[in-house]
Amino acid sequence: MFVFLTACRNEARILPEFFEEFQQMIRRAALAGRTRLYVVDDLSTDRSVELLEEFQRSAIDIEVHIIRVPTNLGNQGALFFGLVQVQLEPGDTLITFDCDGEDDVAAIPSILELAAANPGKVVVIERGRRTESALFKLSFSCYKRIFRVLTRQKVIPNNFLLMPGSFAGTLQRSPLAAVHFAYAALKLHPQYVATVRDRRRRYGGQTSQNGFMLVSHGLVGLMVFFEVVVAKIFMLLFLLGGIAVGLVGCGVIMPASWLNAHRIVFWGIAFSFVIAVWLLGLLLSAAFALIFRLITFTLARAAAERLTESTLRG
């Protein structure tokens, strides 16, 4: 069975286009009758649920399931909330993706072919060319370099993943998947094959994300690899502290008449201080973001379990 998992929030404007493209892909890949689609509704306030229910009733040769969350969990938390409830057998194939069009649904048949050529491996899809502004591309390029240096990871995955059912069962037990779905999968060190697919324009042409959401997402992603990231940041802080102490010592023993040398020492100390403050701020921001998201997801999941128990008793 081919199991698809996605999440949405207030996507009524684009869901019809997604449904149409998804059905076309299923027919083209000859997956009719072997497909289950799970859509997690992340507490939508528009007509998203109504459209999902209409598609559930009208879908042909596709088994559609709608999962409702008790509170808004964000895209990562919603995906993990859904994953925990998905019914999977070891021989199933799970494909996770964003349904806003930026993950190329039309590319799924070629990804299935790659998975068939690499049985038992996770297929990690990295995003290639992007359609965002030059400033965003530059910022993301900087983030990728920081991520690779601090985490020692060679690939930067996103929600577009294919995994065997056996590995998906392991990911279901990883709480870090609630804060960054793809990075948590990578942290489990699966055997994987990576491929690149360009990021398309969103259905309708407008993204729902803003700069703040992207920065928060990136910070949380770093802390998924907290063992390595924290150690590296502290090593850099100690190195910068040593450099600053050495520069202070040089400034003390230098003759007062060496004005240019004193200026160089001063700016060296100032630069070391600024970088140290930036690294410490990065560490604290990432840690607090991770803790906050974990607490939010844990409370929401506990509320959902209590609601389910209350419903069963009633």
Is the distance from CB of 115 to CB of 123 less than 8 angstroms? yes
In the structure encoding, which two tokens stand for residue 39, read together? 């859509």
CA distance 58 to 131: 34
Architecture of the domain spanning 2-132+154-209: Alpha-Beta Complex (3.90)
In the structure encoding, which two tokens stand for residue 126, read together? 């990295």
Is the distance from CB of 121 to CB of 193 less than 8 angstroms? yes
CA distance 2 to 18: 18
CA distance 310 to 314: 6
**Tens of pLDDT along the chain (314 residues)?**
899 999 999 999 999 999 999 999 999 989 988 899 999 998 899 999 999 999 999 988 899 999 988 778 888 888 988 998 888 888 899 999 998 888 889 999 999 999 999 999 999 998 876 666 677 677 777 888 888 888 888 888 888 999 998 898 888 888 888 888 888 898 888 899 999 888 878 886 665 555 556 666 777 777 788 888 888 888 888 888 888 888 778 777 777 777 787 788 788 888 888 888 888 887 887 777 777 777 767 766 666 666 555 555 55
Q: Give the tens place of pLDDT for each residue, 81-140.
A: 899 888 888 889 999 999 888 888 999 999 999 999 999 999 999 887 666 667 767 777
Q: Where are the alpha helices (DSSP H) in the chain?
A: 15-28, 48-58, 74-85, 108-117, 134-151, 165-171, 181-187, 211-224, 226-253, 259-313
Q: Give the tens place of pLDDT for each residue, 281-304.
A: 878 877 777 777 777 677 666 666
> Residue ranges per domain, the chain?
2-132+154-209
Positive or negative torsion for Cα 43, 47, 177, 81: positive
